[in-house]
Structure 1
Amino acid sequence: MSTCNSEELLKAKVNEWLLWDKNQDTLDEIKKLVSENDTSELAKKLHHRLAFGTAGLRGKMAAGYSCMNDLVIIQTGQGFLNYLQRYKNDLLTKNGLVIGYDGRYNSKRWAEITATIFVNAGYKVRLFGGMVPTPFVAFAVRRYECASGVVVTASHNPKDDNGYKVYDSNGVQIIKPADKRIQQAILENLTPLESSWNTDILENNPLVTDPLDDVMQAYLQEIIVDIVHPDVIVKNKTVDLKFVYTAMHGVGYKAVQKVVDTIGVQILPVPAQRDPDPEFSTVQFPNPEEGKSSLNLSFQCAEKHGSTVILANDPDADRFGFAEKNQKTGEWKIFSGNEIGTLMGWWLLQCHKRTHPEIPLNKVYMISSTVSSMILQTMAKAEGFNFVDTLTGFKWIGHKALELEKDGYTVIFCFEEAIGFMCNSKIVDKDGISALAQFTCLANFVYGNNQQLSDKLDEIYNTYGLHLTWNSYYFCYQPATINEIFERIRNYRGAKTYPTGILNDKYKIVSIRDLTTGYDNSQPDNKAILPVSSSSQMITFVFDNGLHITLRTSGTEPKIKYYSELCMTPEVKNRSVAEATLKEMVTAICEEFFEPEKHGLIPQSG
């Protein structure tokens, strides 16, 4: 494109923004860039549109089509309305949609803008009257049989970000091709209607109802009371274990307090992090996965009150984290998502056996993602229930759970290593509130037997076999380099030949699954049964000694990630030998497959 044409195109985009945007702050932001003749920044903001994907929208709150702001939300809402009219019109006409929001800047406003667009079109809107955990929206979609659900949240992203997450009518996050269809509908409805800006229409409108109280009561009944065995609640009250809880400046506290009151559990909220705070003023990254940096105030609170157990939700309360103080050494251990998943899998299996003895284990399933621990698979082989893994992301886990239930199976637990847990099939998405509830019951059971949860974890590994994980990543800012690395792996010793092992075949590869190309030599026809995407890189290797490792790219960051796990038989008790083997193998895989020095890869710090 010529310089002249490029300048004309940018000028047209600037004029379009100045004409369409009615938010004074973002309008002034663009005007300022125009007055400074900052064409580079204007081009970044106006030439590139924030794309709608299977996670909806997520980005920085600022002016421009590449960011989150009033105008982009209006365009998105108008497009989404058009999509639902085209593909879900019966449900939309009958039951409308659900809209919720978190405590970030602009979240409430953008929820109201979305509601305004649908109300103007004559549809029912269940707009939560206050900030809610994301799982409440997923729950409400199925409860009211709505066409869809929208929650305005950026989960645990930094404070300058926000997002727009969409659930399908089945209560699961959207998957392809819905994302592409919504994106196309947005592009066809970019001109903002004058009525889309006027949220005053929502006040006392008969089409708008607040489902908050009903959803809270239904959640307590269906997700807690109907599922937690009465004897477990009695045990909770007997043990009387004190839990420190952090909402990480998010929306979890009110719901968590009601839930733990219902099951006879006491929590001590971290005062400075209890209530929503869009500044996230006490943490640099509001994510329990960050470990000590995000849990410092929790440790202080626990020490003050003599508690040995810390519970944590991320800001939209769909994830759950946990830490425990060793009563012998006084040291705190932050449990990984895989370790929590191991404990929860064991616990929910025991709960199922007790609560539903009429459902045989051969009709029961547990699910985890491909990059999570394979401990559930190991348990399944030993106990007689079923296991299946899915692609990374709860959208895949949720859809698989519904598919299995349709076939007559009962899904009792699902998890992924990024501290996401699904403890029932009423909510087919990760839910940090019900996960916390179940985990407190587990903790009271364990402590009531004079153990700590770290002891129970060791006991589980002694029963089923040690599962050691090592997950990390490299930064790589050149997409061409990433493609070069993965193509070399696929043509390792000639065209279309993968590696056969590492360290001169000291450790041999027994199976390979490439979900970029669709190759899987563990299947009879060498074709992968999991969904394949040529737009992302993902290869899994299984070695003869039980090591699984998945190499993949990030969809949102310039990273090459690896997820490894060494699965040992129960007879192998020497943890230090297993740890040394895992370190030796992962180091060799990274060096031989990635060639980090040659390609200028930057390892994860710390």
Structure 2
Amino acid sequence: MASLEDSLSPLIQKWLEWDQDSATRSEIEQLRDSKQAAELEKRLKKRIQFGTAGLRGRMAAGFSCMNSLTVIQASQGLAKYLKDFHSELVPRGVIIGHDARHNSARFAVLAANAFIAQGIPVWFFSGPAVTPTVPFAVTDMRALAGVMVTASHNPAQDNGYKVYFKNGCQINTPMDKEISDSIDQNLEPWPNAWAELPASEHFHADTYKQLLPRYTTRVWHYSKSTVHDWIYPRPFVYTPLHGVGGLVLPDLCRSLGITDFTSVKDQLEPNPDFPTLPFPNPEESGALDLAVQTADSEGKTLIIANDPDADRFAAAEKVDGSWFFFTGNHMGALLASHLFDCLENIDTDTRVAVLNSAVSSTMLEKMAVAKGIYFEESLTGFKWMGNTARKLEESGYYVTFAFEEALGYMFPEVCYDKDGITAAMVFLSAQAKWAKQGLTPYTKLQQLFAEYGHHETLNNYFRSPNPETSMALFDAIRSGPFRSEMRLGSYKILRWRDMTEGYDSGTDDKTPKLPADKSSQMLTLWLDREVRFTIRASGTEAKVKYYIESCGASCEQAIDAVCDTLRAVLKEWIQPFSPFLTYNKQLPTSSGYILELD
């Protein structure tokens, strides 16, 4: 108990001095009184890190978790940073929105207090909002910054704090470090930090009511502009997965005369407990089970879905009696194909650009090159793609689209972040157009495969017990014979890129074109037989993620290459070097083929 008294007592005292939330104060007091030193150390010794994704983590008491105090500290640091470094733009104010998760509304009010304390106007969303409306509002209202309180598709016990700058993009380096330093210098709550409701001329509480119609109008006009003759989509089922999308998309559809759809009744209203879902992420197996049941009972053959904060979009189609679930890579290709068709209407001198992330399908690049469109690869995350799109626009490009494989799609004409509401409306417009051509989304995808090669993907993850184990795996891979021998199993490694060490065997100077990041772990290998394999450590979860893509003349050929690659990775990398990593024994490829692992 001496170590508890010596090293943790000052931290406990500081927490209890600063925290005025009775629930989290009680948590720390109970841990102290029951002498749970290990848990107190985990909660108090390390601070939750503010990075390019802002904050995200489990809601609990302690400096390492998401709670009222850490939200206050982050907001004070951000407010002080904006006041000190962008004082001339302070009158533009800050947008603050939140989703329907536990504590989201409370965290948003506490954030507002910090900005008001610095004399920064707050344009506040009083009700639950879809995430894309915040970056939209930043550009639409020419605000200095935006904050969205959301944990997107994370489990119910999590929450987060997402920050946008004046360009409508998520903050990126080096601004994240500068804000983090400012947070460290403003940890003690300011006077009125815990106020229940801001009472100030700087607080504008009715912003969302005015802003939402402007956002939905923009979405509708944009999606309509992508077709020559707009017609109604075929009947479909919609689920927002207990999130805020149900507050926006059904009304938007009905306002446009789209009425032949059914919302999944048990998932339509926001519910922060996500009671019908094993995991509130449309990528996860089982997430769309209720939507499938609803569609089957009503004879509908199309499903669309948003994740809980509506920045992601998913779709499924019934094909020959079975449901086919489109991956993010499938949808990226489908949406790009639709948008490319409508580019015939723009000035021939316009330089058009598209983007996707380094772990997303290579198919977009092939499609762009065939159309004479500039393609650029980006690091993972829309903090990179949004800012890259802005730079391309400054160079004279018209950026029409960006996507990443995790069901995220960006349409810069609406906002510079992933946007599941716009993606849904563009998809419905595209589906109606394809129907006039005798195609469904599935048959359109097969048509694209016939033209550009069948692209098969297998994206999943290994569970890691801790960051040290993940780091040990990457160290072992780098020190192994693979890079020098340039072989993995039966495959020849044609190119090796290490984004952590800043090495790329495929460039003249052996330096990656993308910015290296020593704080993250990411390796990409290009193999013969048109296979690309990426492995990276997740920055927000206890996972090592992997992404395999092959391109073959047939579906079967592409599936074989993907499966062979994963088996080689397991045999030569995972099992010898990281016996503590666990993984799923049955994995579906993007065509639905189930890979059985020993």
Normalising by structure 1, we get a TM-score of 0.92
Q: Is 2:265 aligned against 1:277? A: no
CA–CA distance in structure 2, aligned partners of residues 474 and 596 of structure 1 = 14
Task: Identify if the C-alpha distance between structure 1 residues 597 and 135 changes in structure 2 by more than 3 Å, giving closer, same or farther.
Answer: same
Correspondence for 1:411 among 399, 407, 432:
399
Task: Identify if the C-alpha distance between structure 1 residues 489 and 32 changes in structure 2 by more than 3 Å, giving closer, same or farther.
Answer: closer
Correspondence for 2:214 among 218, 239, 247:
218
Deviations 1:426-466 (A, max 9, x none): 31110000000001111112233333221111111101111
Which residue pairs with 1:288 in the alignment? 282
Which residue pairs with 1:44 in the alignment? 42
More deviation, 213-222/124-133: 213-222
Which residue pairs with 1:543 in the alignment? 527
Deviations 1:223-266 (A, max 9, x none): 32145238656322xxx511111011111123212432355433
CA–CA distance in structure 2, aligned partners of residues 555 and 117 of structure 1 = 27
AA paired with 1:525?
A: D
Task: Identify if the C-alpha distance between structure 1 residues 317 and 508 changes in structure 2 by more than 3 Å, giving closer, same or farther.
Answer: same
User: C-alpha displacement at 1:111, in angstroms?
Assistant: 0.6
CA–CA distance in structure 1, aligned partners of residues 253 and 228 of structure 2 = 12
Residue aligned with 1:50, SS: coil
Residue aligned with 1:280, SS: coil
Task: Identify if the C-alpha distance between structure 1 residues 249 and 510 changes in structure 2 by more than 3 Å, giving closer, same or farther.
Answer: same
Q: Is the 8 A contact 1:537 1:553 kept in 2?
A: yes
CA–CA distance in structure 1, aligned partners of residues 576 and 434 of structure 2 = 44
CA–CA distance in structure 2, aligned partners of residues 187 and 30 of structure 1 = 21
Task: Identify if the C-alpha distance between structure 1 residues 179 and 597 changes in structure 2 by more than 3 Å, giving closer, same or farther.
Answer: closer
Q: Is 2:488 aligned against 1:502? A: yes
AA paired with 1:400?
A: T
CA–CA distance in structure 1, aligned partners of residues 494 and 542 of structure 2 = 30
- Mapping 1:429-440, distance limit 5 Å: 429-440=417-428
Which residue pairs with 1:587 in the alignment? 567
Deviations 1:80-114 (A, max 9, x none): 1111112222212x211000000011111111111
User: What RMSD, in angstroms, separates the aligned Cα atoms of the two structures?
Assistant: 2.1
User: C-alpha displacement at 1:5, in angstroms?
Assistant: 6.6
Correspondence for 1:562 among 546, 549, 559:
546
Correspondence for 2:390 among 402, 408, 418:
402
User: C-alpha displacement at 1:598, in angstroms?
Assistant: 6.4
Q: Is the 8 A contact 2:476 2:577 kept in 1?
A: no
CA–CA distance in structure 2, aligned partners of residues 230 and 162 of structure 1 = 35
User: C-alpha displacement at 1:348, in angstroms?
Assistant: 1.0
Which residue pairs with 2:596 in the alignment? none
CA–CA distance in structure 2, aligned partners of residues 162 and 480 of structure 1 = 24
- Mapping 1:78-117, distance limit 5 Å: 78-92=76-90, 94-117=91-114
Q: Is the 8 A contact 1:234 1:264 kept in 2?
A: no
AA paired with 1:450?
A: G
More deviation, 553-562/55-64: 553-562
CA–CA distance in structure 2, aligned partners of residues 445 and 517 of structure 1 = 46
Which residue pairs with 2:592 in the alignment? none
Q: Is the 8 A contact 1:91 1:145 kept in 2?
A: no
Which residue pairs with 2:558 in the alignment? 578
Which residue pairs with 1:60 in the alignment? 58
Normalising by structure 2, we get a TM-score of 0.93
Q: Is 2:119 aligned against 1:122? A: yes
Structure 1 alignment gaps of length 5 or more: none
AA paired with 2:236?
A: F
CA–CA distance in structure 1, aligned partners of residues 575 and 425 of structure 2 = 45
User: C-alpha displacement at 1:272, in angstroms?
Assistant: 1.3
AA paired with 2:512?
A: A
CA–CA distance in structure 2, aligned partners of residues 114 and 163 of structure 1 = 12
Q: Is 2:429 aligned against 1:441? A: yes
Q: Is the 8 A contact 1:50 1:65 kept in 2?
A: yes
Task: Identify if the C-alpha distance between structure 1 residues 201 and 392 changes in structure 2 by more than 3 Å, giving closer, same or farther.
Answer: closer
Q: Is 2:185 aligned against 1:188? A: yes
AA paired with 1:245?
A: Y
Q: Is 2:225 aligned against 1:229? A: yes
Structure 2 alignment gaps of length 5 or more: 587-598
User: C-alpha displacement at 1:275, in angstroms?
Assistant: 1.3
Correspondence for 2:302 among 309, 327, 341:
309
Correspondence for 1:261 among 254, 265, 284:
254
AA paired with 2:499?
A: L
Aligned residues: 585
User: C-alpha displacement at 1:61, in angstroms?
Assistant: 1.6
Which residue pairs with 2:581 in the alignment? 601
Q: Is the 8 A contact 1:134 1:317 kept in 2?
A: yes
Residue aligned with 2:231, SS: helix
Which residue pairs with 1:349 in the alignment? 340
